[in-house]
Structure 1
Amino acid sequence: MKDMRNWQDLTEEERTALQVAYQPALDSQPSTCDFDLKVARFADWLARHNIAFTREDISRK
């Protein structure tokens, strides 16, 4: 198994591509307003793509 890459180490293009690729998985999940659950779901999906993601990786720009 490859070493996991950190979300913040990815280029903007890589992050965008992953977010687009995640959309079908997101669409198949039950809706939720629980922010922590949303983060956990995305982190789990990314982990299967060898990307490490935590709540601290979320930008509040």
Structure 2
Amino acid sequence: MIHGDVKKLGKVPDGGGWRYVGRQGEKNRSATTVRTKGPRNKRGHALIGTCYLHTVIDDYSRVACS
């Protein structure tokens, strides 16, 4: 028997997010989008996106893969 789990994580911009550096986090977000040539919304703000982490654990042997 195996257990599978999926976790949705928000990407953190280069230099830290707004919770770490305050309002300057928006500048870091824009800089990350310029560096990666990422998408922007209709107002021109940078879109960072999300990642999905898939984890599977075997019940008997306790082997885990992510």
TM-score of Structure 1 vs Structure 2, range by shorter chain: 0.3 to 0.5
Q: Which one has a larger percent helix, Structure 1 or Structure 2?
A: 1
Q: Which one has a larger percent strand, Structure 1 or Structure 2?
A: 2
Q: Which has the higher contact order (CA 8 A, sep 6+)?
A: 1
**Structure possessing the higher radius of gyration over alpha carbons:** 2
TM-score (norm 1): 0.33
